[in-house]
C-alpha cells in the first residue's frame, strides 16, 4: 500500500457537485492498493497514520499526532499512486488492484483507522469521480509505502 498524507486545515470530497464529506483540522490520506497488500499492511499503516507526529506542539515543533490535536481523517482511494512511468509518457496502472481486491482492503482500512483513532473517519467513494479540495497546512506532505517498512 502506498499513501500520501497531507496535514490540512480543511479538506473535502465533492461528488456530482455536492460535498460528500469534509473535515477541518486533520489529515487527508490518499490510499493506493496493490494485489500484494495484506491486513498486516493495513495495521502497520493505520498505526503510522494515527501516531505520526506532524502537528506542532506549543513550541512550534512537529511533536504531536492527529489524536493529540483532536484532528480528523479523510481517506480517499487513489489507484494512480501505483502508476508506473518508466516507459513512454502514458502511465501504466497494472500494479493497482482491481476493485474486487481493492474494495475489501479499502473497507478494512477504514475500520482499522476508526479503531486506532477512536472515532469515525470521513471517506470518499471508491471508484467515483471525486473532486478533492484541501488546504495543505505547512505545507506538510508525506509519502509512505508499506513495502518499505524495514
Q: Could you list the active site residues?
A: 80
* 67 Cβ contact partners less than 8 Å away, ≥ 6 residues apart: 50, 51, 117, 118
Instruction: Return d(Cα 17, Cα 130) in angstroms, integer.
Output: 9
Instruction: Return d(Cα 69, Cα 72) in angstroms, integer.
Output: 9
CA quadruple 91, 94, 96, 97: dihedral, nearest 10: 150
Instruction: Return d(Cα 72, Cα 113) in angstroms, integer.
Output: 11
- The answer to whether the beta carbons of residues 47 and 109 sit under 8 Å apart is no
Amino acid at each position: 500500500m502506498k499513501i500520501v498524507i497531507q496535514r490540512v486545515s480543511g479538506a473535502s470530497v465533492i461528488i456530482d457537485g455536492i460535498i460528500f464529506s469534509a473535515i477541518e483540522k486533520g489529515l487527508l490520506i490518499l490510499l493506493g492498493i496493490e494485489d500484494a497488500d495484506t491486513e498486516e499492511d493495513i495495521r502497520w499503516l493505520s498505526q503510522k497514520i494515527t501516531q505520526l507526529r506532524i502537528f506542532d506542539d506549543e513550541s512550534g515543533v512537529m511533536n504531536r499526532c492527529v489524536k493529540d490535536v483532536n484532528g480528523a481523517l479523510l481517506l480517499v482511494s487513489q489507484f494512480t499512486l501505483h502508476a508506473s512511468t518508466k516507459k513512454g509518457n502514458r502511465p501504466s496502472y497494472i500494479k493497482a488492484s482491481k476493485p474486487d481486491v481493492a474494495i475489501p482492503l479499502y473497507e478494512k482500512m477504514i475500520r482499522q483507522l476508526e479503531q486506532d483513532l477512536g472515532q469515525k473517519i470521513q471517506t470518499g467513494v471508491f471508484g467515483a469521480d471525486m473532486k478533492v479540495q484541501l488546504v495543505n497546512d505547512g505545507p506538510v506532505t508525506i509519502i509512505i509505502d508499506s513495502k518499505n517498512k524495514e
